[in-house]
Amino acid sequence: MAEAMRQINPEVVAAFPITPSTQVIEDFAKFVADARVDTELVTVESEHSAMSACIGASLSGARAMTATSSQGLALMWEMLYIASSMRQPIMMTLVNRALAGGINIHCDHGDSMGARDAGWIQIYSENNQEAYDNMVMAPAIAENAGVRLPIMVCQDGFIISHSIETMQIEDDEGVRSFIGERLTEHSLLDTDNPASWGALDLADYYIEHKRAQIDAMANAKTVIQEVSERFNEQFGRKYELFESYRLEDAERVIVAISSVSGEIKQTIDTLREKGEKVGLLKIRVFRPFPYDEIREALKNAGIVAVLDRSASFGAYGPLFGEIRTALADLENPPMTYNRTFGLGGRETFPSDIADIFAESERYLQGGKIEKVSDILNVRGD
């Protein structure tokens, strides 16, 4: 991720260290120290100030970036909404980590899922290659004139952030030509045309401003597809709103996000050898959520198990809610159920995935979901 940030060469990076995203900023600080980037690195005293400084920098016409995890994102919360409301294309590397308490440094998606209504584009990455590629695409998506929204590129803490993988890093020139310059219509530094930002905004205009954000997020779906297509043309790696893995004729489907998809794909390959019709729909873009495309992709499935790596206490998992909503308009929607897994870094193995496909088979044969929601690999059952 630090390498992608070096290639983007933003004018301002403001960040506060937090495990497991710390290394991104440490590596970037070295690039600054060695003058390999033109960036002002603002080593702020908190994540709240990190996002505040990113907003100030972005309003001034700069490309602004940060990296964080977990509590750091939680401390930014207030400013996440202000960044998106001010329509600033700030870019964030989010290394997913469980939220306290008890304090835990390992992966789950509680941090970013909690921020899903903050008005940020959210793109999830299965591995380091995807994280890098998504970050290279981020400026073109966020800064698009029809979008102008902040973007977080998420990857799983430790599982991905601290793993060593073979990957393709594109050359600087190629990346920079792909990204181009940020074009700013209004800058806080334009003293000839002074503008006021962040005015009091009450009942007579607030809802129009929210509507503009809602529309921009809807536009983002098309822009993400266009930018991904352009990325494929230039770099030869194809990305869509979600990845369909052996989905075409699948009767039993798992929907999941990020690194667990590796185990799911491996399990699918094994089961497919035995002739089982199983497949994966891997979410890449969670905000904006591609309801129509997902409905189309899953319309022929018999049963869909949705894996949530975060808990919404007192409700189904956030991904499950979206998937059920997407499928609700079908005349004969597939059966759906929800499994929560991996909170705080609890391991998930290919055998767990095989168990889910077996369970799906039972439900499908019996014509009934016995347990709509449950937790995997947990004590107390």
Partner 1 sequence: MATMQELASKEGSFSGGHRMCAGCPVPIFTRMLSRVTDYEVVVCSATGCLEVASTIFPYSAWKVPWVHTAFENAAATMSGVEAAYKVLKKKGKTDKQIKCVAIGGDGGTYDIGLQSLSGAMERGHDMLYICYDNGAYMNTGIQRSSATPMGAATTTTPVGKESSGKAHLKKDLTSIMVSHDLDYVAQASIHNPVDLSKKIKKGIELDGPAFLNILSPCIPGWRIDPSSSVELARMGVETKFWNLFEVEHGKYTINYRPRKDVPVADWILAQGRFKHLKRPEHKHLLEELQSQVDGQWARLLKLAGE
Binding positions for partner 1, rule: CB under 8 A: 11-12, 14, 38-40, 42-46, 48-49, 52-62, 64, 78-79, 82, 86, 188-191, 194-202, 204-205, 209
Any residues with CB less than 8 A from the CB of 64 and at least 6 apart, and which?
10, 11, 12, 13, 14, 53, 54, 55, 57, 58, 88, 90, 91
Residue in 175, 161, 129, 163 with CA at minimum distance from that of residue 25: 161
The minimum distance between CB 181 and partner 1, in angstroms, equals 9
Decide whether 191 or 332 has the Cβ nearer to partner 1. 191
DSSP-assigned letters across all residues of 30-51: HHHHTTSS--EEE--SSHHHHH
Q: In whole angstroms, how close is the CB of 114 to partner 1 at the nearest point?
A: 19
CB of 49 to partner 1, least distance (A): 4
Tell me how far CA of residue 281 lies from CA of 211, 257, 258, 269, 349, in angstroms: 30, 9, 11, 14, 18
d(CA 116, CA 132): 21
Pairing of strands 252-257, 335-340: unpaired
Q: Strands of 242-245's sheet, edge to edge?
A: 242-245, 278-283, 252-257, 303-308, 335-340, 373-375
Closest approach of Cβ 98 to partner 1, in Å?
25
| Residue closer to partner 1, measured from CB, 29 or 44 | 44
Of 37 and 147, the one with the shorter C-beta distance to partner 1 is 37
Nearest approach, Cβ of residue 208 and partner 1 (Å): 10
Query: Judged by CB, which is closer to partner 1: 164, or 199?
Result: 199
Tokens 């004969």 map to which residue?
Answer: 332
Q: Which is nearer to partner 1, 164 or 202 (CB)?
A: 202
Minimal distance, residue 83 CB to partner 1, in Å:
9
Picking from 18, 39, 19, 231, the residue whose alpha carbon sits closest to that of residue 28 is 39
By beta-carbon proximity to partner 1, the closer residue of 88 and 340 is: 88
Q: Mapping DSSP to helix (H, G, I), strand (E, B) and coil, where does residue 69 land? A: coil
CB of 195 to partner 1, least distance (A): 6
Q: Which is nearer to partner 1, 118 or 306 (CB)?
A: 118
Q: How far apart are CA 312 and CA 59, in angstroms?
A: 34
Which of 212/358 has CB closer to partner 1? Answer: 212
For strands 335-340 and 303-308, give the pairing: parallel
Shortest distance (Å) from residue 32 CB to partner 1: 11
What minimum distance in Å lies between the beta carbon of 12 and partner 1? Answer: 5
Least distance in angstroms from the C-beta of 40 to partner 1: 4
Residue pair 281/242 in contact (Cβ under 8 Å)? The answer is yes
Close Cβ partners of 1 (under 8 Å, ≥ 6 residues apart): 24, 67, 93, 131, 132, 135, 153, 155, 161
Nearer to partner 1, 65 or 369 (CB): 65
Nearest to 225 by CA among 154, 285, 158, 149: 285
How far is it, in rounded angstroms, from Cα 130 to Cα 135?
8
Q: Which is nearer to partner 1, 7 or 52 (CB)?
A: 52
- The answer to whether residues 363 and 303 touch, using CB atoms and an 8 Å cutoff, is yes
